[in-house]
Homo-oligomer: A and B are copies of this chain.
Amino acid sequence: MRRSERIVRITEELLTHPYQIISLTDLAKRFEAAKSSLSEDLGIIREVLEMEGKGTLETQAGAFGGVRFIPGISNEEAVSFVKGLGRELATGDRVLPGGYLYMTDVLGRPDILDRAGRMFAERFGKHQVDVVMTVETKGIPLAIATSRYLHVSTVVVRRDQRVTEGSAVSINYVSGSGRRIQTMSLSRRSMPEHSRVLIVDDFMKAGGTAKGMIELLQEFRSEVVGVGVFMETAEPETKLVSNYVSVARLSKVDEFARNVEIELGNYFSKNYENNVLGNIQQ
């Protein structure tokens, strides 16, 4: 096999299998190549991925050695993505009655989901996530985009219990902003106990829904390793969840002037590690 052909095949295999270890012995056999040639190929691929800010490769040495693709995003690409998003959301007539911001359309766009998913993968990838969890409906596309890059399953919390979900655990929680009692429900079969869970959602105002999901996870004896939201609101400043990562922050919605201001989220703040680690279940 020609070298350039081998490089295309390895690049394709790595990119489409994020976080999955590919054995060097298998590669060597399939491509009838010496491990030293493969190492050279992998060196080039890693160099390009890092240079383009798309992530990196992680190589494990030894007889059972392998390589895996760790997806990511450069700070530069993330900043330019969120700034562009902010401009887009601030123009057009997106302010709805009640002061809500219409952003359902952007949450269905593959380019936006791809970048947000890579941002969450970049930030939470090293925390051994077993499951990405979200609540229906608008958080699902983001959760799917994130779980694809982390190569884990997405689990969807329902607002009501459905016959197609089998037995479920339900909890009541207080929505942070409205102070209303709401219910959420998760199928018993959806997740093994003692899972490490990344919560992903589209929007966080007071954080009541995220807090509800964290409480629900205790019923599954599972641990929250992070909370990622696409858009947080500046108000209220104090959220019910102490640690979370936001892609963007909605600092102002003026229903009458139909004016919106969007800033970079806390993903970009210097002490962002504080938003990931630490006791998130406090």
Contacts and interface: CB of A to CB of B under 8 A. Distances in A.
B165 A141 contact: no
A255 interface: no
A96 B144 contact: no
Nearest to A2: B44
B148 A100 contact: no
Copies of this chain held together in the complex: 2
Question: For this complex, into which size category does the number of interface residues on chain A fall?
Answer: 35 or more
A8 B9 contact: no
Contact of A105 (B97, B98, B190): B190
A29 to B, nearest CB: 16
User: Which secondary structure characterizes the binding site on chain A?
Assistant: helix
Interface of A: 2-5, 7-9, 11-12, 15-16, 41, 44-45, 47-49, 52, 54, 96-98, 100-102, 104-105, 108-110, 113-114, 136-138, 140-141, 144-145, 147-148, 151-156, 158, 163-166, 187, 189-190
Given A110-B148, A136-B137, A144-B145, 20 more contacts: A2-B44, A4-B7, A4-B41, A4-B44, A7-B11, A8-B44, A8-B48, A9-B52, A11-B15, A12-B54, A15-B16, A96-B164, A101-B164, A105-B189, A108-B144, A110-B152, A137-B140, A137-B158, A138-B164, A141-B154
